[in-house]
Amino acid sequence: MNEKKETKRELLLPGDLIVDEGVKPGRGTFKRGGKIYAATLGVKTVRSGYVNIAAQSGRYDPKRGDRVIGTVTDVNSSIWMVDLNAPFPAVLHVNDVPWRVEFGDTKRYIDVGDAILVKISNVDELKKIQISMDEEGLRKLNNGQVIEIAPSQVPRVIGRKGSMISMLKNYTDSRIFVGQNGRIWIDGPLEGQYIAVKAIQMIEEKAQVVGLTDAVEQFLKEETGKVLENKREDK
Amino acid sequence: MVDEDIKLIGKDGIRRDGRKFDELRPITIEAGVLKRADGSAYLEWGENKVLAAVYGPREMHPRHAQNPSRAVVQARYNMAAFSVPDRKRPGPDRRSVEISKIMSEALEEIIFVEQFPRSSVDVFVEVLEASAGTRCAALTAASVALADAGIPMSDMISSCAAGKIDGQIVLDLGKKEDNFGEADVPLGMVTSSGKITLLQMDGNLTLDEYKKVMELAMNACREIYQIQREALKKRYSTSLEGYEDIEDTEEE
Amino acid sequence: MKELISRITKDYLFRLIKEGKRLDGRDLLEHRKLDINTGWIGTAEGSARVHLGDTDVIVGVKMSIGEPFPDTPDKGVMITSAELIPMASPKYEAGPPREDATELARVVDRGIREGHVIDTTKLCVTKGEKVWLVFLDMHILDFDGNLFDACGIAAMAALMNSEVPAETFDLGDNYKLPIGHVVIPTTFYKIKDQIMLDARLEEEMIADARLTVGTNEKGELVSMQKGLSGVFEYEDTISCIEKSREIGDKIRALLKDKV
């Protein structure tokens, strides 16, 4: 056997052995012959007794409770079909929207091409994804724009304790929502949106995380001409 | 197949291209080279140049081909018209259909297909320049592209051929060696377990010779696996710097 | 398989374009970073890989001996084809070339043919019997909009990089493929009354009309193609042609360096 040992923060590849003692196999792992291995390319994290692999690439893997941004691809008399950048399309049923929709009246509320902010309400064993809009904050997005980043980059855009995202909002006077599926909704003055998009692209492309917040702040200062002091809590 | 006039190995045991019997041609791999695909890899192996792209898992079309309990792995091996000395007519021929089929089957072994019912994992390999051993190059590149696409898998696959020229067992036949040699055995191997996921053979070998061929090819697969690993590590190395800084994030 | 772009994002793009701005910060008449690499396919007589932003194409030239057309017994023959392989985009499917691929191949072909890029009179071996056949195969690897310019430039570069394989056919020494003119296409997109050069995918998806203009080193027009259901004003076409000549000259200079 060609078993590979891993160290902290090392990139694990599919089939790499995880050597931690007394942990249970979590997300992105599998068990074979009493041992735990990585199933996807990613980084190991251990939480509440489970070892997980945080994927560094790939499509969005839907989890119940995630808030995501979808694009409506099809409508019929009682459901909307929604693309989430997941392996499977999601279904939004008329019972799961905040309005009382008469049978066959679906199109009047949400149509093909609409962007919607929804929650994953269930993923069943056959990977059928159900989503819901019937909760505070969930809605059809009427203004602004939606951009897409790799789902694995979502934590970088949010930043530690949300530091990156609040900085982006403050400098660009925009409302920003980062869906767990890598879709980001941005709304605000045209100029602000434009700068926010550029900043997010910068976050995605900038290789190193060390000093990233400072680099992005510098960029935002230059682009917006704003000076916001001591807004960040993590410094 | 033996042509008396052509000597493929010199008296000093050195092959026409300067390699020893157990030496691979130079191999370089780069992961993540395409923007649209979910994962990709570019591989050069001697004069061979192949590009692999992965899309999926995604909803399978046409619908009637969906499997309700697992993903369907569809590999497509395609040669560019200019990849061979005599221009190849675009589109699939019998050879590329066969290679696509055995590649799909080889890759299906490592992918956790049961996690993705009704979907497909599509693997597209384009051979841009061909110089013997393209199916091994294709499978090796496809495996890197699958990992780059974040597809859940039990392992990786590495692939290499060995065979017989001038009565001697050699690794990784070059173009002339393939044309004038006595046997060629392309092998695809699941790296950690050493299990065989692709195997073909043509020519003539004794059982003893087969054993030697396989020993060479299997060792080479382990060597190639390290190159695949390095390619993926290089692609993701920078994005892992300072990873713990962002590990504990919460939503806005 | 469909490409998805939400309605609000489209609206944002329209607003941006109205103000003369683009997604990636370019000016309306600025093209993306152009990268040309020639001659790295050993099995081809000539080859070029072109990156236009994230659009990535490769063109290979293969040559062999064949019969001339009856009406041009002393001229070589060029055959152009394009494959929009499923590697390049989630919306491409395997199978015979679709309309898009056929249009692309024909537009590139027209620029080269009508622009007399290849001096076909020098590709005759025996009049009426044997001439050189030049196969130009375009392979799209990554699709992020504007294939016309990426393929047209790659085709030009690949031809300039080509060597006639005379030795292989016992016809003497190899020689450089005779090039008459250097034709460069530039493609303009009209979106909500604004005209922009070199659209990337999102822009191409919302474009009303498209105009490809091929010019040669003398600034002469050699091919044009208007596409999509929108319309151009006559004056628009004039400004596109003028801009095309200017950009064509820049790219010709770049090609001279690279090939």
Which CATH number belongs to the domain containing residue C184 in this structure? 3.30.230.70
Strands A11-12 and A42-47: antiparallel
Check residue A4 and give its pLDDT: 43
- Higher pLDDT: C109 or A213? It is C109
Rounded to whole angstroms, the Cα distance separating A164 from A208 reads 15
Confidence of residue A2 (pLDDT cuts 50, 70, 90): very low
Those residues of chain A whose CB sits closer than 8 Å to some CB in chain C are 71, 73, 83, 113-115, 141-147, 190, 193-194, 197-198
pLDDT (0 to 100) of residue A47 = 87
Residue C158: inside a domain, yes or no? yes
pLDDT, average across residues C160-181: 96
Whether A185 and chain B come into contact, CB under 8 Å, resolves to no
Inform me whether the pLDDT recorded for C135 exceeds 90. yes
B242 touches chain A (CB under 8 A): yes
pLDDT of residue B239: 65
Residue-level pLDDT at A207: 58
Q: What are phi and psi of B232, to 5 degrees?
A: -70, -40
Q: Cα B116 to chain center, whole Å?
A: 24
Mean pLDDT, rounded, for C20-47:
95
Residue with tokens 């001659």: C39
Asked whether residue C215 carries a pLDDT value surpassing 50, the answer given is yes
Residue A227 has pLDDT above 60, yes or no: yes
Average pLDDT, chain B: 92
Q: Give the residue-averaged pLDDT of C47-56.
A: 97
Q: Report the C-alpha gap between B156 and A135 in whole angstroms.
A: 43
Q: What domain range includes position C182?
A: 20-258
B61 CB near a chain A CB, below 8 Å?
no
Quote the minimal CA–CA distance from B218 to chain C in Å.
29
Task: Confirm or reject contact between C2 and chain A (CB < 8 A).
Answer: yes
Is residue C173 one of the residues assigned to a domain? yes
The number of helices, as runs of H, and strands, as runs of E, in chain A is 5, 16
Report the pLDDT value the prediction gives residue B8, as an integer from 0 to 100.
Answer: 87
Of residues B244 and B33, more confidently modeled: B33
pLDDT of residue B252: 31
Average of per-residue pLDDT across C158-177: 96
Is there a contact between B150 and A166 if contact means CB atoms under 8 Å apart? no
pLDDT above 80 (res A1) = no
Nearest to A71 among C4, C16, C25 (CB): C4
Looking at residue C188, its pLDDT comes to: 98
- Shortest CA distance from C16: residue in chain A: A190
Other Cβ atoms less than 10 A from the Cβ of A32: the count is: 13
* Residue at C105 is within a domain: yes
Does residue C186 sit within a domain?
yes
For residue C106, give the H/E element and its range: helix C99-114
pLDDT for B241 equals: 56
Helix, coil or strand: residue C219: coil
pLDDT tens-digit readout, B118-129 = 999 999 999 999
* Per-residue confidence (pLDDT) for residue A209, from 0 to 100: 64
Reported as a single tens digit per residue, the pLDDT across A140-177 is 999 999 999 999 989 889 988 899 999 999 999 999 99
C8 occurs within a structural domain: no
- Portion 116-155 of A in contact with B at CB < 8 A: 126-127, 152, 155
Distance (Å) of CA B83 to CA B86, B141, B143, B164: 9, 17, 22, 25
pLDDT value of residue A101: 86
C73 exposed, middle or buried (CB, 10 Å; 0-12, 13-18, 19+)?
middle
Residue numbers in C near A114 (CB within 8 A): 6-7
The domain tally of chain C equals 1
Alpha-carbon radius of gyration of chain A: 20
CB A63 within 8 A of CB A86: no
C7 lies in some domain: no
- Cβ <8 Å between A55 and B150: yes
Inter-residue contact A132 to A118 (CB < 8 Å): yes
Mean pLDDT over C196-216 rounds to 96
Position C12 in a domain: no
Distance CA C53, CA C55 (A): 6
CA angle B240, B241, B244 (to 5 degrees): 80
State the nearest Cα–Cα gap between A13 and chain B, in angstroms.
7
What's the distance, Cα to Cα, between the start and end of chain C in Å? Answer: 38
User: Over 80: is that where the pLDDT of A7 sits?
Assistant: no
In chain A, the percentage of residues whose pLDDT exceeds 70 is: 92
Query: Count of CB contacts below 8 A, B vs C?
Result: 81
Amino acid making up residue A184: I
Q: What angle do CA C95, C97, C102 make, to 5 degrees?
A: 175
| pLDDT (0 to 100) of residue A10 | 83
**Do A173 and A196 meet the contact criterion of CB atoms below 8 Å apart?**
no
pLDDT at B4: 54
pLDDT (tens digit, 9 = 90+) per residue, C65-123? 999 999 999 999 999 999 899 999 988 877 777 899 999 999 999 999 999 999 999 99
Joined together, the tokens standing for residue A1 give 């056997």
Chains adjacent to A (≥3 CB pairs closer than 8 angstroms): B, C
pLDDT class of C259 with cuts at 50, 70, 90? confident
Q: Is the pTM for the entire model greater than 0.90?
A: yes
Residue B118: closest CA among B44, B180, B68: B68
pLDDT at C245: 97
pLDDT digits over B58-92, tens only?
999 888 999 999 999 999 999 999 999 999 999 89
Residue whose structure tokens are 């199109």 = A107
Whether B250 shows a pLDDT value over 60: the answer reads no
In a domain, C213, yes or no: yes
Residue numbers in C near A146 (CB within 8 A): 6, 8-9
- pLDDT grade for A234, boundaries at 50, 70 and 90: very low
CA distances from B159 to B27, B101, B151, B204, C140 (A): 12, 16, 19, 21, 27
Distance CA(A118)–CA(A136), nearest Å, equals: 10
Collect all residues of chain A within an 8 Å Cβ-Cβ radius of residue C21. Answer: 194
Query: Rounded mean pLDDT of A115-124?
Result: 96
pLDDT of residue A229: 65
| Contact: B37, C1; criterion CB under 8 Å | no
Is B208 exposed, middle or buried (CB count within 10 Å of its CB: 0-12, 13-18, 19+)? exposed
Supply the mean pLDDT for chain C.
94
